[in-house]
Amino acid sequence: MTVPADFQSWVHSRQTRIESVLETVLAAPDIAPQRLHQAMRYAVLGAGKRVRPLLAFAAGELSGADEERVGIAAAAVECIHAYSLVHDDLPCMDDDVLRRGRPTCHVEYDEPTALLVGDALQSLAFQLLSEYRLANEPARQLEMVKLLAVAAGSRGMAGGQAIDLESVGKALSMPELEFMHIHKTGALIRAAILLGLRCGDELDNRALGRIDSYAKCIGLAFQVVDDVLDAQGSTATLGKTAGKDAEQNKPTYVSTMGVAESRAFAEDLRLQALAALEGFGDRALRLRQLADFIVLRKF
Amino acid sequence: MTVPADFQSWVHSRQTRIESVLETVLAAPDIAPQRLHQAMRYAVLGAGKRVRPLLAFAAGELSGADEERVGIAAAAVECIHAYSLVHDDLPCMDDDVLRRGRPTCHVEYDEPTALLVGDALQSLAFQLLSEYRLANEPARQLEMVKLLAVAAGSRGMAGGQAIDLESVGKALSMPELEFMHIHKTGALIRAAILLGLRCGDELDNRALGRIDSYAKCIGLAFQVVDDVLDAQGSTATLGKTAGKDAEQNKPTYVSTMGVAESRAFAEDLRLQALAALEGFGDRALRLRQLADFIVLRKF
């Protein structure tokens, strides 16, 4: 994969920005309760590809959104994502010790602290979406709160996790696997894109529908590629335990359709995502580049 | 304690109403993922004194709020409360098997499901506060979202839990104990009252300040009485494991100041709470009666 130099520097600048926003919105490590605040910072800061924030920024560019606003919305999504990783890694879930190249939160701190870190990060996400002015109309901003709440909840990400739990050791059909991943990963990725978009000018329903198609394709493609990387990557490259899906006997795209077909499916989703962006011109440049980046990435 | 007959029927009618709201807003047990939705209903429905919803309804009466609106706001607070109980009871926290007279969520279902139940209930709370129209101005409703997010987060309830964890086996000073409980229990009780209030007419700052004083006194009094009941009550009466604080070597009001002084402290807080309501007339009747109920209760 050849990443255009200009895209690389865009990614870098947005990663720097989201890091700085997260650094600011997380409570300082010396504020009581200190250990909890330190653990929250550990779970969120200084690691992660920040794919969801990048998508939010790219969508914000399409709708002409103020970058400060998108930064806060992106931070809210990243708090939800970070909380889900902390809870996923707990002994009663995936029981993992390595995340983003470092000990997982409950290993570095302890289990009860990690539980509270996740809980408090979720609250923080909704605090961010309500504390700052992110949309011109407060009513529109309330819709943003609802969008994230639904994406995170029992009919979104948490629901996807529950389906994941139930499916261990089972062979899923393709539609079942897709249903699981649309919830588990897709919902939050879609929320990142739609929240970034909603920080800017309102789009008509047709345009919104196209971005939503892009978002759904990318959300699913991200997971398909994740499955391929989990099966083929090394722990060192991934920064998390590789081969975990097979070891835990979890149905994945790779276990269901094999590596070659999974790659082809991801490529198909990438092309669908790009097709949905036709007609948006330069405003959709970063969304296009991110579609390439997400599907063609090696880590 | 003699409860006025009229108050008893008010409590009963509001408990019936909040039960019906919760029943409606929780996803039906046959909606996928079924097991998660069933466990969420198990954790929330058909049990609990509904103290926080009662306080929300009482505060809503003071500000002339629409009862439908207060019902949703109260349900949001109760979802946060229910999630906190489910997570508190997990093996890595208090490791408790009995709650509200029934097996705890992770005993009835399993640990990972209980973790997700708590996570999804928190999301649901914020969905409720953003999905329905609860205030005349959307901007005011956004403030309600923020109020609950802060009350639930690292500088509210979750923060109180973290301080609780750190204090096991320690003797706390009175100010430290108060700091812990203001966060752990007080923050959400205060949020219940202020959210109920904000569903109605706007009050001036002086009136708001007085209700806030009431809320803070009642939040603390509730915990002091809880500590006394934990030390003196029976498991059968409480519907949860009695004597847990002492067994887990947790500092409480009873361990710090003894039973008699704790009772006197609670009574003092009740009188302060009632004093804060002076001048509100009949509109504050239910808040007054709830102050009596909370401090003089036997379970």
Chain segment B221-242, per-residue pLDDT in tens: 999 999 999 888 766 666 677 6
Strands (E) in chain A, as ranges, are 98-99, 102-103
Query: Residue B299: which pLDDT band, with cuts at 50, 70 and 90?
Result: low
Six token digits for residue B178: 């108060």
Domains of chain B: 5-293 (1.10.600.10)
Q: How far is B245 from chain A (nearest CA, A)?
A: 17
Alpha-carbon distance of A234 to B28, in angstroms, equals 42
Asked whether residue A242 carries a pLDDT value surpassing 70, the answer given is no
Closest Cα in chain B to A164: B33
SS (H, E, C) A17-60: HHHHHHHHHCCCCCCCCHHHHHHHHHHHCCCCCCHHHHHHHHHH
Query: Residue A270: which pLDDT band, with cuts at 50, 70 and 90?
Result: very high
**Nearest by CB to B112, which of A93, A112, A148?**
A93
Q: How far is B45 from chain A (nearest CA, A)?
A: 16
Residues of A in contact with B32 (CB under 8 A): 159, 163, 179
Mean pLDDT of B89-104: 94
Six token digits for residue A294: 């997400």
Mean pLDDT of A3-16: 90
Mean pLDDT of B159-179: 89
In this complex, how many residue pairs, one in chain A and one in chain B, have their CB atoms less than 8 Å apart? 166
Q: What does B270-283 look like in DSSP terms, one character per residue?
A: HHHHHHHTTT-GGG
Best A30, A142, A170 member to test B by mutation, with max B CBs in 10 Å, is A142
Alpha-carbon distance of B253 to B182, in angstroms, equals 13
CB contact under 8 A, A36 and B162: yes
Closest Cα in chain B to A91: B112
Whole-prediction pTM:
0.95
Q: How far is A214 from chain B (nearest CA, A)?
A: 25
Asked whether residue A268 carries a pLDDT value surpassing 80, the answer given is yes
Asked whether residue B255 carries a pLDDT value surpassing 70, the answer given is yes
**Nearest by CB to A130, which of B40, B93, B142?**
B142
Is residue B203 exposed (0-12), middle (13-18) or buried (19+ Cβ within 10 Å)?
middle
CB contact under 8 A, A166 and B35: yes
Residues of A in contact with B96 (CB under 8 A): none
Alpha-carbon distance of B171 to B177, in angstroms, equals 9
Q: How far is B232 from chain A (nearest CA, A)?
A: 28
Mean pLDDT of A262-290: 96
**Nearest by CB to A126, which of B113, B126, B141?**
B126
> In degrees rounded to 5, what are phi and psi of residue B138?
-55, -35
Closest Cα in chain A to B111: A92
Chain segment A76-118, per-residue pLDDT in tens: 999 999 999 999 999 999 999 999 889 999 999 999 999 999 9
The predicted structure's pLDDT at residue B75: 98
Residues of A in contact with B30 (CB under 8 A): none
Alpha carbon of residue A108 to chain centroid: 23
The predicted structure's pLDDT at residue A135: 94
CB contact under 8 A, A154 and B33: yes
Q: β-strands A102-103, A98-99: how paired?
A: antiparallel
Element (H, E) at B103: strand B102-103
**Nearest by CB to A154, which of B93, B124, B163?**
B124
**Nearest by CB to A123, which of B131, B142, B158?**
B158
Alpha-carbon distance of B57 to B284, in angstroms, equals 11
> How many residues would you count in chain B?
299
Q: How far is A163 from chain B (nearest CA, A)?
A: 6
Query: Residue A232: which pLDDT band, with cuts at 50, 70 and 90?
Result: confident
- To the nearest whole number, what is the mean pLDDT of chain A? 93
| Distances B276 to A167, B48, B158, B182 between C-alpha atoms, Å | 55, 28, 28, 18
Region of residue B48 (phi > 0: left; psi between -120 and 50: alpha; otherwise: beta): left
Asked whether residue A152 carries a pLDDT value surpassing 90, the answer given is yes
Helices of type H across chain B: 5-25, 34-44, 51-62, 67-88, 105-108, 111-131, 138-152, 157-167, 174-181, 187-198, 205-232, 235-238, 244-247, 253-276, 285-296
Chain segment A184-225, per-residue pLDDT in tens: 999 999 999 999 999 999 999 999 999 999 999 999 999 999
Residues in contact with A136: Cβ distance below 8 Å, sequence separation at least 6, in sequence order? none
Torsion of CA A23, A25, A30, A33, to 10 degrees: -130
